[in-house]
């Protein structure tokens, strides 16, 4: 794991697009089925749009039908952090980038992989790097 990236609010606003800022820094979400990576099937790696931290490999991506890119696992367990989120009147587990603490999405216990997890991630929180 690389060193933490801590920036001021002004530095984040300069670095990110308005949509990326809303998702990563304000824990926002994009509308279902509107994200750039929701149906992308290319081979590569998904990086944090805020800091470039490697988050998910394309081989762990699958179509969950939820409207957001879904993955069975992160690149490594120390690349993301999980926090209990009780906003919006429900109990969920929020997923953040371990390097910059940017909001990525949520993880649910209904995935098809060996661990049974579905990482439901906003496209706006990521950038894709083809192999």
What is the SS3 assignment for 84?
strand
51 carries an active-site annotation: no
Marked catalytic residue, from 48, 51, 97, 120:
120
Q: What are phi and psi of 16, to 5 degrees?
A: -110, 155
3 state SS for the chain: CCCCCCCCHHHHHHHCCHHHHHHHHHCCCCCCCCCCCCCCCCCEEEEECCCCCEEEEHHHEECCCCCCCEECCCCCHHHEEEEEECHHHCCEEEEEECCCCCEEEEEECCCCCCCCCEEEECHHHEEEEEC
- As annotated, the active-site residues are 120
């Amino acid at each position: 794991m690389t060193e933490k990236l801590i920036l001021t609010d002004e530095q984040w606003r300069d670095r990110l697009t308005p949509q990326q800022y809303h998702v990563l820094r304000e824990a926002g979400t994009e509308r279902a089925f509107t994200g750039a990576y929701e149906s992308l099937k290319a081979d590569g790696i998904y990086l944090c749009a805020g800091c470039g931290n490697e988050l998910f490999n394309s081989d762990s991506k699958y179509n969950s039908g939820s409207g957001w890119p879904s993955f069975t696992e992160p690149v490594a367990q120390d690349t993301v952090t999980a926090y209990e989120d009780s906003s919006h009147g429900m109990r969920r587990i929020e997923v953040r980038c371990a390097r910059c603490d940017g909001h990525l999405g949520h993880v649910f216990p209904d995935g098809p992989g060996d661990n049974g997890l579905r990482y439901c991630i906003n496209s706006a929180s990521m950038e894709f790097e083809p192999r």
